[in-house]
Each structure stands twice: as structure tokens, then as C-alpha cells.
Structure 1
Amino acid sequence: MTALGALVVGGCAASTAEIPLEQRIANAAPAATVQAAGETAPVGTAAVDAADDPAIWRNPADPTASLIVGTDKKAGVYVYALDGKVRDFHDAGLVNNVDLRSDVAIAGTAGILVAASDRNDPVRARIALFRLDPATARLASLGKVEAGAGEAYGICLFRDSTGLYAFAVLKDGTINQVRIDVDGTAPVGRIVRSMKLGTQSEGCAADERTGRLYVAEEDVGLWRFDAAASGSPAPVQIAAADGRNIVADAEGVAIAPAGARGGYLLVSSQGDNAYAAYRLEDEAYVGRFRIAPGSVGSTEETDGIDLALGDFGPAYPGGLFVAQDGANAPAAQNFKLVPWASIAKALGVPE
């Protein structure tokens, strides 16, 4: 058993951070390398762990006008253009993760809904809601809804025939499913069920085709839940943070659906600065990759990630992967942009 395997099985007798990075990389499964084609401007909070989680909105009419929403968990929410320039900043305080959905009924008209996990109150989780204007790239606050007792951490949105939901992942591993209605004068939220993982959890993503919710438990691995409000609360483990495919912490989670059941599921293997890829169809392991130094630098200690397939213009013709960069010295942390075509080629999978 490797040192990391003993660490996980033995109940985290020592933290992954205490094992030298070179050893973590040596013990892990091989990882292909890709390079980022772009990056965002640094977040405003300098010299501290601040940038955290991105969400991608693809503009179907003009893919080059697509937008990236990202959090500075010490200050608020940014909107970036694909060239990395800041289009807007909303002073929302301590917001951790972010997700968005298009074509949501907002105050009587269809719009882009942005939801962020709000931990301004460390003992009472909330969800901060915004409308994103695609023409101006500006965020407008809609208000907040309650998400349960505890510290807000991860968030992801999910829609099915029964409504729109947010999965609020609390720091202790509680996952509250909150039904959200933003079609009135003020947003309304109601917790419809709760699920639980044993330890600190954060990243999540939901597949609306299959009704599956994926959540990363940082020191344990990746889990799947039934995303339906009436579904079973029991988790099924997809992958362990065993020091091979995922090196703890398991952080950001992103999915990119394709076709009826295809596409990819990615997890940030933060402990060795890599990303693990799985097929959505059968949840089988595909491979791993790292973002290596290039014209805009590498990524380290990635928290949040997002992936969207489709045309994003000449620089990202097959899709876009965005990863938080935890070490962007001498500047503050930011987000790196990678063409999906580069990742697919490195992994040897179809685009």
C-alpha cells in the first residue's frame, strides 16, 4: 500500500499536505499534460486563498460573447469575458461556490439565474441569487434564501419536471436540497430534503438528463445521489480519494453532458494538482490530466472547476474548461481557461 493509501484507509492520521508534493505525484496515477489558452484577471483579494469557483454561460447566438462567473470567497462575485477581462463585480461578501442556469423564469421573464453559496453567517447557510444580463454582463441581486443550519460551502443547481432546486453543500457534509422560486417579487426557498456525507464536502454537480447528483467529500472521494426530491438519500461511492486517481482533497466537480447519457465528469485532485475524468454514461474512469506551464502558466491546488461543451469561438471550438488557480504569483489567484479539445486529445477520448 502506498503512503497515501495508508493515509486514507487509516482515517487520515496525517494530512495529505504533510506528504511532499513530489511523493504525492509519484504515488498517483499518470497524468497527461495540457496548457491553458487564457486566464482571467486576478481577483481583488490579494495574498490569500480567495478565488474559488467558476460557472460558465455559453452564448448560443455569439459563442465568443460567452461569460464566466467566478467567486472571490472573501469579497464577492465576478463576471469575466472569454478574454479574461472583468465585466462586472458584485460585492456579496463571503460567497464560496457558484452555479447558473439559463431560461429560468425570473420575475415573469426568462433569464440567467446565478446562485452562490453565502456564508456571511457562519452558522446559518444561505443562497445568494442574481440575474445575469447577457447583454451587459452585469449581475443584479435578487435576494437570498435560507439553506439550513451550518456553514455554506458548495452549491449546484438542478431542474426536473417538479421544479428548480439548489443543492446546498454545508461544510460538515450535510446536503440540503432547496426548492427555489424566483418568479415573484422576492425569491422563495424551501428545504425539501437533506442528505449527509461523513466529513467536509464541497464540490457538486447535477446531471439533469439522468437525475444524478455528484458530490466530492474532500478526504474520502466522489459520491452519487439520486437528485430527485423524492429520491433515496443514500450515497453511492463512485471513486475514492485513494492517492491514485484522486489525491485528497477531492475538490471541484464539473459535468459536461453530451447526447442522451454521454459526456464527462471531472474532479479536481487538489492534492497533486491534477484532474480526474470519468465517463458520465457508466461512471468509468477515463484518465487524469494537469495544466502545465505555458503562455499563461499552470494551475496548482485547484478548488472549483467547470466544463461546458460546444462552440466557444476560435480559441475554444469544442468546449471550455475553467479551473481556479491557487498559486498565481506574483498576482492574486485567478482562473485558467483550457480548450476542451486539448484535454480530450490528451486523454484519448472523443471531443
Structure 2
Amino acid sequence: MRARTLNACFVLALSLGGCANALSSGGSGAVSLWPAVDIPAQVETAPVGTARADAADDPAIWRNAADPAASLILGTDKKAGLYVYGLDGQVRDFVAAGALNNVDLREIRRADGSTMVLVAASDRTDRANPRVAMFALDGARAKLTALGTQPFLPSGHAPAEAYGFCMGGPLGADELARAYVVLKDGEVAESRLIDRAGTIVAEYVRSMKLATQSEGCVVDDQARHLFVAEEDVGIWRFDLNEAQPQTQSFARVGEESSLVADVEGLAAARANGRTILVASSQGENAYVVFDAGSGARLGRFRIAGGSIDGTSDTDGIELALGDFGPQWPEGLFVAQDGNNAPEAQNFKLLSWQAIRTALELE
């Protein structure tokens, strides 16, 4: 996250519609901004333990199919480790695991036929030798068990810093999932996660490359597309069906996308036959909703109003659809709050139904 200050003309433009072409971002030209609808958060998590620092970063959501209201939120403190929260925002577990930046999870089937919730995160503890930290989540007990860390770059690779992280479904036989680590310089390293004699290991497959600092990523399993946020440029799409996926521009900062750099967290979920993609437009404290297939911009919102403070400078986000209990009948959206003063940073929870209704989405 790189904090940015809005100039006075931009603030005036938001309220009065003036200075429409005054803001430029990342050298890409004027930003065409759709109005952003204010939607209040319904719940916030307890603050992370690292105070007075840019610490909270990225969330993941586990849906408890047997008891949706008992679903869980995972959230990183990138100075200290990984939290488990209930949907009431209270801490259920914490693992001191070092500098974990981005987190994702998948329900997988092991080689012995058993199933587990695999949680994995980019590990920046060693800034020159990036690794992936893995955990097993016991959903019934809301507890994490550390499974160790795995290197994911080929031997002889230059020193690099792990940054973004996401997982997708398996693309080949004998795989548990695919893992994507976004290095800070824009390289995206893809690995197969496999079960080798009872140990989950990362086996490097290939790399893709963006030109500058990138972090947020998400996989559309339906289309087998990987989306990556290049912070000052926009969102790129990679077709994972290709032997060597090429960069395809999806939405550029300042080109009718309503994205304002930095472009940070990305989240995706299937709804009514299409994949919804949400991006954190950090430079304007907003979130832009797209149709992941067509690239159409569907709406824009901020987290503001109500009895809970809103969000600003958001890094990671997550979206999961389905029944999460009476408070979240259609799904759940979670966003990191970069300025939760006077307390430490935390995460805000919103009902997808509230977002869908406010944006008049089908």
C-alpha cells in the first residue's frame, strides 16, 4: 500500500461534479469516474495486534456449508502472522507466522481421499528468498495448524520478494490446486500444489511478467483466467489455458474504468451465470465492480456511513457468494481498512445483498 493524498479539486469534483478532468493517475491521463454509492459496513473485525503500522493486509473467506453463520474470515497481519475471525468480527485464532502478506484458501482432496481446507499465504519473512506458508484450517474449531513453508521459484532464480498471492483450481492430473505468487517486481510465478507422501509441496510450472510493481490477484476458475493488478497501470488478464499465457489488458487506470492508482486487491465470484470481479481503487478509497467476462463496468461503491467507520487505503479484499446466515443471505464482502484510527488496522464486512441492491445488479 502506498498512501496518496487527494487534491482539493478532486474532492470538489466528487461533491459538485467540477474539475472532471483534473485528476490524473500513474501518467495515464484523466480518470472518468462513475459516482460511488456509499454502503455502510455491518461488522468490523477486532484490530490486528500490530499497532501504529501498516499491518493488516488481505482477507480470505471460508464458508461453513453445514452452518453458514459459523463461517470464518482469515486475515493477515503482515508484520506478525495470520488471524481467524468469526462473522461477528471476534478473533477465534492467531498463528504467529512472520510476515505473511496475501492469503487465500481452497477446499482440497488429498491423495488418500480425505478433504481439508488448505490456507496458504505469501511469506515475506525473508525478502530475498520468497516462500509460501501453508496451514490446515479446522473449520469446526476455527483453528489453524501450520504445515510449514515451501519455496516456489526454480533453482538459480534471482533474489525476489513475495508479495501478492492467490490460488486456483487444478489444471492437470494429480494436482490439489494451482498457486500464484506475485513478486514485487511484477513477475507472477505459477506452481502446482501436489501431495507428495503426505506433504503438500509447490512444484514450479512457469512465470508471467508485468512491467512494474504488482500485488493483487484472483483466479476465475470457470474461464481459467488469472487477473493481476499492476498498481499504477491497471488490471491484466492471463488465459491459463495457454501454454505460455500472454498479457491481455482488462481495465486500465484512467481509461473509462473508474480505477484510480494504486489498484490493489482483487476478488471474484460467480453470480447468475457470470463472474463478478471487484477491484480496490485505493487512490480514491473506492471499489469498482466489473463483469469479468466482458470487461463491462457494473458499478462503483465506497464503504461509508452507518455506525461503523468506513474504509480507506484498502489493500486486500475478498468476495464469497451464497448463504452466510441471516445477516448475509446472498454473500459476504470483506475489505481491509488502512486507517482505523485510533485503533490498529482491521477488516470491514458487508452484505453482498446490500452491495448488489445499491448498484442495481441483477
Identity %: 52
- Contact kept, 8 Å, 2:171 with 2:178, in 1: the verdict is no
SS of alignment partner, residue 36 of structure 1: coil
Once the two structures are TM-superposed, the CA of residue 258 in structure 1 deviates from its matched residue by: 2.9
Task: Deviation per CA, 1:198-222: give whole Å up to 9, x if none.
Answer: 0000000001111000000000000
- Provide the C-alpha distance between the structure 1 equivalents of 2:214 and 2:280, rounded to a whole number of angstroms: 13
The structure that is strand-richer by fraction is 1
- Contact kept, 8 Å, 1:304 with 1:324, in 2: the verdict is yes
The correspondence for 1:151, drawn from 134, 137, 161, is: 161
Show the counterpart of 1:11. none
The correspondence for 2:278, drawn from 256, 259, 266, is: 266
Show the counterpart of 1:257. 270
Q: How does 1:1-351 map to 2 (within 5 A)?
A: 17=4, 19-20=6-7, 23=10, 26=14, 27=20, 28-105=33-110, 109-148=114-153, 149-162=159-172, 163=175, 164-182=177-195, 184-228=197-241, 230-242=242-254, 245-258=258-271, 261-350=273-362
Once the two structures are TM-superposed, the CA of residue 19 in structure 1 deviates from its matched residue by: 4.6
Once the two structures are TM-superposed, the CA of residue 186 in structure 1 deviates from its matched residue by: 2.7
Normalising by structure 2, we get a TM-score of: 0.88
SS of alignment partner, residue 281 of structure 1: coil
Q: Which residue identity lines up with residue 323 of structure 2 in the other structure?
A: D
- Contact kept, 8 Å, 2:335 with 2:347, in 1: the verdict is yes
The farther-off stretch of 298-307 and 288-297 is 288-297
Once the two structures are TM-superposed, the CA of residue 306 in structure 1 deviates from its matched residue by: 0.2
- Contact kept, 8 Å, 1:225 with 1:232, in 2: the verdict is no
- Contact kept, 8 Å, 2:251 with 2:295, in 1: the verdict is no
- Provide the C-alpha distance between the structure 1 equivalents of 2:253 and 2:3, rounded to a whole number of angstroms: 11
Normalising by structure 1, we get a TM-score of: 0.91
- Contact kept, 8 Å, 1:68 with 1:82, in 2: the verdict is yes
- Provide the C-alpha distance between the structure 2 equivalents of 1:107 and 1:170, rounded to a whole number of angstroms: 33
- Provide the C-alpha distance between the structure 1 equivalents of 2:205 and 2:163, rounded to a whole number of angstroms: 19
After the TM superposition, which parts of structure 1 deviate over 4 Å for at least 4 consecutive aligned residues?
none
- Provide the C-alpha distance between the structure 2 equivalents of 1:247 and 1:291, rounded to a whole number of angstroms: 16
The farther-off stretch of 24-33 and 69-78 is 24-33
Once the two structures are TM-superposed, the CA of residue 17 in structure 1 deviates from its matched residue by: 2.4
- Contact kept, 8 Å, 1:317 with 1:341, in 2: the verdict is yes
- Provide the C-alpha distance between the structure 2 equivalents of 1:21 and 1:92, rounded to a whole number of angstroms: 42
